[in-house]
């Protein structure tokens, strides 16, 4: 765990936001949503700069891991680029890890944000450099598909205003196990986070608040993921858990998913508080969560609060 975090600078109107695809590139059939997401960023008053390997080549060739990481390294090194947002998630972000220039990131800390498979990079970058990263909407699936007022206000509040304090609830929150806890916020998509197990990039969970969500998670898969966390000693070390929106279980309008129930059962002897929220995840409005930021959760008033600045 880092004693002192590296913080990126907040955004100002007119700043350049770089778009990269360190997981899945943008395919032809996604172009309409990609264009809509980029246009949304421009409507908020920012300029957009694309990486060289954001999309699949006209020949159908998919960028290599080295090419995708080169885009990421170039965006961090470019003094004109003030924030970096990922086009989308996918399944291959971990392939970029050997090619990332960690020193470049340390020397040029800036806002880096994404969701889903980008969980791999959000946590690896924080673990390796101490730079606070951000779990939030991507271009194709978040800002490219009718983002709501909540998406906009959370993006502007965190990145432009540098707002801390209470994270507003998008929908009802539920207490799964009562308690109050503080710690550094780590996690994201549970399946993708587990790709870091056994590497130097798996985040140090000592005293952390773990947050987790999933797209299509069967109860059996969820149980297996949680067993893996337990084997890694994560349940021994964390102070609390926030469970987000689980699309496969909640798309019919349900407020609950099996994830928090299985977690409560498997972690009964540890006793850490568990809060179920619907403020982040796949195919839902998303707040912006600082990975590595200090937060407090309190089931008494069902609150989640950012305790210290995560941008300068």
Is 81 part of a structural domain of the chain? yes
Tell me what percent of the residues of the chain surpass a pLDDT of 90. 98
pLDDT surpassing 90 at residue 247: yes
Is 284 part of a structural domain of the chain? yes
Cα angle 24-77-309, degrees, rounded to a multiple of 5: 85
Are 75 and 141 within one domain? yes
pLDDT surpassing 60 at residue 1: no
Is 8 part of a structural domain of the chain? no
Range of the domain at 220: 165-306
CA distances from 228 to 154, 174, 272 (A): 32, 25, 18
Residue 169 is classified by DSSP as P
- Of 296, 273, 246, 249, give the one whose Cα is nearest residue 175: 273
Are 151 and 267 within one domain? no
Burial of 233 (0-12, 13-18, 19+ CB in 10 A): exposed
Q: Annotate 252-266 with b (16+ C-beta within 10 A) or e (fewer).
A: eeeeebbbbbbbeeb
Are 114 and 178 within one domain? no
> Tokens 């006209």 sit at which residue?
58
Give 140-183 pLDDT, tens digit per residue. 999 999 999 999 999 999 999 999 999 999 999 999 999 999 99
Are 176 and 154 within one domain? no
- Helix (H) or strand (E) segment spanning residue 70: helix 65-77
Which residues, at least 6 apart from 211, have a Cβ–Cβ distance to it below 8 Å? 135, 185, 186, 187, 188, 241, 242, 243, 244, 280, 289
What would the two tokens of residue 42 be?
């421009």
Give 24-64 pLDDT, tens digit per residue. 999 999 999 999 999 999 999 999 999 999 999 999 999 99
Q: For all residues of the chain together, what is the average pLDDT?
A: 97
Which residues sit opposite 295 in a β-bridge? 183, 306
The model's confidence at residue 3, banded by pLDDT at 50, 70 and 90, is low
CATH number of the domain that 247 lies in?
3.50.30.60
Residue 91 is classified by DSSP as S
Are 122 and 176 within one domain? no
The model's confidence at residue 2, banded by pLDDT at 50, 70 and 90, is low
Question: pLDDT at position 4, please?
Answer: 78
Give 263-308 pLDDT, tens digit per residue. 999 999 999 999 999 999 999 999 999 999 999 999 999 999 999 9
DSSP 214-264: ESS--HHHHHHHHHHHHHTTHHHH-SEEEEEEEHHHHTTS-S--HHHHHHH
- Of 18, 80, 26, 24, give the one whose Cα is nearest residue 49: 18
Are 216 and 249 within one domain? yes
């Amino acid at each position: 765990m880092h004693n002192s975090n590296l913080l990126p600078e907040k955004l100002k109107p007119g700043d350049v936001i770089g778009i990269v695809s360190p997981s899945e590139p943008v395919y032809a059939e996604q172009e309409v949503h990609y264009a809509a997401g980029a246009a949304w960023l421009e409507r908020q008053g920012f300029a957009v700069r694309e990486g060289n390997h954001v999309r699949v080549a006209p020949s159908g060739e998919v960028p290599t891991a080295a090419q995708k990481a080169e885009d990421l390294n170039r965006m961090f090194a470019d003094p004109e680029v003030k924030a970096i947002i990922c086009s989308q998630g996918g399944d291959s972000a971990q392939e970029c890890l050997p090619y990332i220039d960690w020193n470049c990131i340390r020397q040029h800390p800036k806002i880096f944000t994404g969701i889903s498979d980008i969980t791999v990079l959000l946590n690896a970058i924080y673990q390796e450099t101490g730079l606070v990263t951000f779990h939030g909407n991507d271009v194709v699936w978040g800002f490219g598909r009718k983002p709501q007022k909540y998406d906009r206000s959370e993006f502007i509040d965190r990145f432009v205003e540098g707002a801390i304090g209470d994270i507003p609830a998008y929908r009802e929150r539920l207490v799964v196990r009562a308690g109050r806890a503080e710690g550094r916020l780590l996690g994201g998509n549970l399946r993708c986070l587990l790709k870091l197990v056994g590497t130097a990039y798996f985040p140090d969970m000592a005293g952390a608040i773990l947050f987790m969500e999933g797209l299509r998670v069967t109860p059996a898969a969820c149980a297996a993921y949680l067993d893996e966390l337990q084997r890694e000693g994560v349940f021994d070390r964390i102070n609390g858990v926030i469970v987000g929106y689980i699309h496969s279980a909640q798309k019919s309008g349900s407020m609950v998913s099996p994830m928090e129930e299985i977690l409560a059962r498997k972690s009964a002897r540890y006793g850490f508080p568990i809060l179920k929220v619907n403020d982040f995840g796949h195919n839902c409005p998303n707040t912006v969560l600082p990975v590595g930021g200090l937060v407090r959760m309190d089931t008494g008033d069902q609150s989640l609060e950012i305790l210290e600045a995560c941008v300068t």
